[in-house]
Amino acid sequence: MAEKANTGFVIPEAAPQSQQPGQAASPPIVGGATLDSNGKLTITGEGIIEVPLGPQPRDYAIAAGILLVLLVAFFFAKNAYANHLAGRRVPPGAATAAGWWLFIFLASLATASVLAILSSVKFLTPLFMGPLGVISLVALVLMFVSGKRS
């Protein structure tokens, strides 16, 4: 019985590319890579390759749809919270104000979350998350202050 030698994994040879008569094979791309303001990676050399990076317009549309659905749900939560506070003998004006502060708190958190998921490289920076975090904290404090019984 003949035993086979275990040669391990072998990378197969590359098949020759079909060429047009009179054309030389395209040289490999060599050079530096740059990222332009539109989020495209450009590798320069003998040829140019553009690779889109980051979210595409379709991704922004999906994120906007998700955020819109969440805002509608938060609007119903605002009304439920205001009705709950009114049932606990909080004045109607204060209960409504606390409900709106809850809406602002939840909306700012949802916006920060959706932006962070959409493109963490672009939106997970202090420039975007700082103001959203401050708005969230201020709305949370004002929600509790407004919802107190007078």
pTM above 0.85, yes or no: no
What's the rounded Cα separation, in Å, for the pair 109 and 78? 15
Does some domain include residue 133?
yes
- Please tell me the predicted confidence (pLDDT) of residue 32: 60
Instruction: Find all residues with CB under 8 Å of 19, minimum gap 6, and list them.
Output: 25
Does some domain include residue 117?
yes
Does some domain include residue 83?
yes
Instruction: Please report, in tens digits, the pLDDT of each residue of the chain (150 residues total).
Output: 566 666 666 666 665 555 555 555 444 444 566 666 666 666 665 555 666 677 888 999 999 999 999 999 999 999 999 999 999 999 999 999 999 999 999 999 999 999 999 988 888 899 999 999 999 999 999 999 999 876
Does some domain include residue 2?
no
Which of 16-23's residues contact partners 24+ apart within 8 Å by CB, and which partners? none
Does some domain include residue 16?
no
- Please tell me the predicted confidence (pLDDT) of residue 28: 42
**What six digits make up the tokens of 89?**
């003998």
Does some domain include residue 30?
no
118, 59 Cβ separation under 8 angstroms:
yes
Does some domain include residue 10?
no
Q: What is the number of domains present in the chain?
A: 1
Does some domain include residue 128?
yes
Domain span at 140: 57-146
